[in-house]
Structure formats: structure tokens, C-alpha cells
């Protein structure tokens, strides 16, 4: 009787939460659609139907495809999945203009927010290209201790207005962190303006950063041009690859940071700017300072809050999580084939590769593999050549000594990881140090995984 009472109370609570949730949806002044990973409508409010010009009966029952309500020519499937902000569409017989914003949740459902373009406020006006931060902290995938510490530091930094220097190898997600910091800060309603200091020729960096007045040089626009500092006013300026900036431009940048004002090229009056700087580099700026290639005073001006973004090799616990995440992300885009996972050999190659290109390389490899897949379980041959060659190198040959019992297709990556650990312990007779060497992981990492999977190494010492 007591168990039935508890179960009944839980159901009453769930029913009440559902009612509260639906009430919140209806209170919202914007249109809201909650979509499944297959882009079918799971929930909606009346504001969404009104803005789309759809009757309640047309939207019933739930679970109808999104593109029965919105024309694919106005909003593509990839745009919905990858995320758009204030994307302008025209819909209905009257040609109603709407702004659409989409974002994936941690549960892989997709939230679609619809607002009328006619009532556009500065928050929802169609932004200038390159002036929007799409990523938030909950978009950063992983559970490793080093990543969680980095996230904690970044969240603290987001709550003040000091300059930030992000360091880390290429492909670790420095711009993702920069956007997340911006979106978590008091400047989130302002612009996020990135500039790659290493991608522009020296002759263009100054004009891109500080702008120019009309007639300042041959080929200049008649009306002049606002630089990135002016475009980022009230928001965040992201200086990527700051170590590549020429020394003479560094002096001008330092002056702008100290005075909070800029002069356009050819201009005679100063322009006040309120900008927060986030700089990023994959090189050691302190070493560039020693080599006289980077100004010491600018280094200390930028290095108020230094955050090192960990490489993928430092986040071994996150590898299987990231593989599963990217697999799910791209598998949904294959409409001709239902992909369920990787075959055991492909998983082994993915989990033993060193990933020098970090998360960017991992993401690209999985996207490529998904599109090259010929069956529901992706074979190793779909992986990039660099991964296949790495696996066949002598350095990794020792792993072939691990006992590998047959593994059924359909195992998750976590299942495969657990089995690899157990196989290594079996081969090494329960000796964790030797198993760690065989798996090529840090000993502390292996101990954490033993605790995570509730594996007792003593059972393998017999």
C-alpha cells in the first residue's frame, strides 16, 4: 500500500509539473516550439501558432514534422540543427516576417523561438555578420576534472569586466569559451566581434581594428568604415591568434586599451569605446616577449585573467562522451541510413589515436565517417587515413597483446571502454601500473575509471 501511495504521489507531482510547464509556455510573449531530435513538434504554445498563421487543429496531434508548418526554403534543416539566431523568414499568405532562433538542449531536443520582425528590438534585430555569440557554457561537452575546473574559472571570469587571455593548442575550443564567457556576462546583450589577427595581412589589420575615415587612402570607401572596436562597442572584442599581431599595431592596441578610445586611420577626432577584450593564442606569449616579438606591457595588460583550455589528451575521460555526442549530432543528418554506432575496430582506433588536432580534428573525423558509412555500424575504413596509419604504427602495436574476446555490435562507447580496461587488467594480471602503460593512459586516470565502472582489479590478479 505504501509503495502504491508513493507511486501515486510521484505521478501527481509529475502531472503538476507538466501543468506548470505548459502554463509557462503560454505566458511567454514569444512563440515557442520544442522539437525532438528528428525535428518533430513535441510541445508548442499558442503564440507560436498565431505567429506562423497555423490553426490549433493543424498542429494536432503532436509529433508532426516541423516542415509541415515552416517552408524548408525559408529555414533549412541544417540551420535548425546547427543553431541560428534572429534568422529572418517570411511565412503565411500575408508574407509575415519573423525572426527565428534555434538552440539544442542538453537532452538533444531543440528549442525554436519565434518573434515578429516588426517589433524587433536591439536584442532581436538581424545582427551584423560575425557579431553574434552562439555558444553557451552548457554547449561545452565533458565531465573530466580538468575541464570542470576550467569551466569554473571561465564562469568566474565572465562575471567581471577584466581582460581575458585564453591559451591552448589549436582545436581545443578557445572561441567557444570566448563566446560562452560573453553570453554569461553583463555584456551578453551587446555584440560579440571576432577578428583573427593571423589571417589578415599587416596592411589591413590596423584599418580592420580601428577603421578609417573617407579619403584616408586609395580605395577607401567614400563614407569611411567603422573598425572592430567601434563595432564591438558595449560588447566583447575577441582577438584570436593575438601572438601574430605585428609589433607596431600592438602599440596602437595598447594605447586603445589604456585610453578606451580609438582614432580611425585618417581621422582627427577620438572615438570613445566601451569594449571588453578576450584574446586567444596557441603560442607562449611569455616566450614571444623574451624574443622581443610581443610587447611586455601589452602582455600584462591582456594577461589579467589567464585561462588555459585543456587539450583532448588532458581530457581522456571525455573522449568517449565527445565521440557519442558528435556521432549523434551527425547521424541525424543521414536520412538514407539509420546509423547506430561504430564497429569495435573503429572504436578502438578512435580511442587510441592521440588527436593532435584536438576536438576540431575529432569532430571532423566523425562527421566524415558518418557520411562515408555504408552500414548502420561505421567500419574503420570510413575513418581518416591519419587515424588508420597511427593505429598501425609500432608504438601502438603493444595493444594487440590485450586479450580481446568477441564484442557484439551495438555496444556503446562506454561499454567498449570498460571492456578494454578489463581486457588490459586481465592481460596484466590485475597490475594497474602495467595496465595503464598498455592502455597508454595516466595511472590516476585509470584509477578514476576503475571507480567509475566499479571494477575491482583484484579480481584479475588470479
Tell me whether strands 276-281 and 164-167 are parallel, antiparallel or unpaired: parallel
Contact 90, 96 (CB under 8 A): yes
Cα–Cα distance measured from residue 126 to residue 131, given in angstroms and rounded to the nearest whole number: 10
106 found inside a domain: yes
DSSP string, 376-403: SEE-GGGS-HHHHHHHTSGGGGGGGGS-
| Helix H or strand E segment including 177 | helix 174-183
289 with 317, same domain?
no
328 with 279, same domain?
no
Residues in the chain: 462
Kindly report, residue by residue over 247-263, the tens digit of the pLDDT: 989 999 999 999 999 88
Kindly report, residue by residue over 351-403, the tens digit of the pLDDT: 888 899 999 999 999 999 998 988 888 998 999 888 888 744 333 344 444 44
351 found inside a domain: yes
37 with 151, same domain?
no
61 with 96, same domain?
yes
352 with 429, same domain?
yes
170 with 297, same domain?
yes
96 with 165, same domain?
no
Kindly report, residue by residue over 117-152, the tens digit of the pLDDT: 754 443 333 444 446 788 899 889 998 999 999 999
161 with 242, same domain?
yes
344 with 408, same domain?
yes
- SS3 assignment, position 406: coil
130 found inside a domain: no
pTM higher than the cut 0.75: no
Kindly report, residue by residue over 296-312, the tens digit of the pLDDT: 999 999 999 999 999 99
Amino acid at each position: 500500500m505504501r509503495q502504491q501511495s508513493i507511486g501515486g504521489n510521484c505521478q501527481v507531482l509529475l502531472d503538476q509539473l507538466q501543468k506548470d510547464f505548459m502554463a509557462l509556455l503560454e505566458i511567454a510573449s514569444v512563440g515557442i516550439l520544442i522539437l525532438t531530435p528528428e525535428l518533430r513538434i513535441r510541445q508548442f504554445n499558442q503564440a507560436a501558432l498565431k505567429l506562423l498563421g497555423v490553426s490549433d487543429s493543424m498542429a494536432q496531434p503532436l509529433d508532426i514534422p516541423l516542415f509541415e508548418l515552416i517552408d524548408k526554403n525559408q529555414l533549412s534543416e541544417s540551420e535548425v540543427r546547427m543553431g541560428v539566431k534572429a534568422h529572418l523568414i517570411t511565412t503565411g499568405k500575408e508574407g509575415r516576417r519573423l525572426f527565428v532562433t534555434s538552440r539544442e538542449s542538453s537532452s538533444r531536443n531543440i528549442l525554436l523561438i519565434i518573434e515578429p520582425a516588426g517589433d524587433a528590438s536591439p536584442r532581436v534585430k538581424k545582427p551584423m555578420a560575425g557579431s553574434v555569440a552562439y555558444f553557451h557554457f552548457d554547449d561545452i561537452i565533458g565531465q573530466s576534472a580538468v575541464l570542470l575546473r576550467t569551466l569554473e574559472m571561465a564562469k568566474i571570469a565572465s562575471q567581471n569586466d577584466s581582460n581575458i587571455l585564453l591559451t591552448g593548442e589549436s582545436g581545443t575550443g578557445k572561441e567557444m569559451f570566448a563566446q560562452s564567457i560573453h553570453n554569461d556576462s553583463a555584456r551578453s546583450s551587446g555584440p560579440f566581434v571576432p577578428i583573427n589577427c593571423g589571417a589578415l595581412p599587416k596592411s589591413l589589420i590596423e584599418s580592420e581594428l580601428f577603421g578609417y575615415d573617407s579619403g584616408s587612402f586609395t580605395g577607401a570607401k567614400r563614407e569611411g568604415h567603422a573598425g572592430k572596436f567601434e563595432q564591438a562597442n558595449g560588447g566583447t572584442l575577441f582577438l584570436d591568434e593575438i601572438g601574430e599581431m605585428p609589433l607596431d599595431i600592438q602599440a596602437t592596441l595598447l594605447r586603445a586599451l589604456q585610453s578606451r578610445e580609438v582614432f580611425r586611420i585618417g581621422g582627427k577626432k577620438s572615438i570613445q569605446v566601451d569594449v571588453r577584450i578576450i584574446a586567444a593564442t596557441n603560442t607562449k606569449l611569455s616566450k614571444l616577449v623574451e624574443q622581443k616579438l610581443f610587447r611586455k606591457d601589452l602582455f600584462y595588460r591582456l594577461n589579467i585573467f589567464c585561462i588555459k583550455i585543456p587539450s583532448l589528451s588532458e581530457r581522456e575521460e571525455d573522449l568517449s562522451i565527445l565521440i557519442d555526442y558528435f556521432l549523434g549530432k551527425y547521424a541525424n543528418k543521414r536520412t538514407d541510413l539509420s546509423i547506430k554506432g561504430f564497429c569495435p575496430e573503429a572504436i578502438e582506433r578512435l580511442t587510441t589515436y592521440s588527436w593532435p588536432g584536438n576536438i576540431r580534428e575529432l569532430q571532423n573525423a566523425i562527421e566524415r565517417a558518418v557520411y562515408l558509412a555504408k552500414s548502420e555500424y561505421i567500419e574503420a575504413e570510413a575513418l581518416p587515413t591519419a587515424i588508420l596509419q597511427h593505429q598501425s604504427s609500432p608504438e601502438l602495436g603493444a595493444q594487440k597483446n590485450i586479450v580481446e574476446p568477441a564484442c557484439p555490435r551495438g555496444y556503446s562507447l562506454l561499454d567498449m571502454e570498460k571492456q578494454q580496461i578489463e581486457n588490459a587488467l586481465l592481460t596484466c594480471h590485475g597490475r594497474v601500473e602495467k595496465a595503464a602503460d598498455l592502455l597508454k593512459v595516466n595511472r590516476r586516470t585509470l584509477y578514476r575509471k576503475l571507480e567509475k565502472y566499479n571494477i575491482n582489479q583484484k579480481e584479475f590478479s588470479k
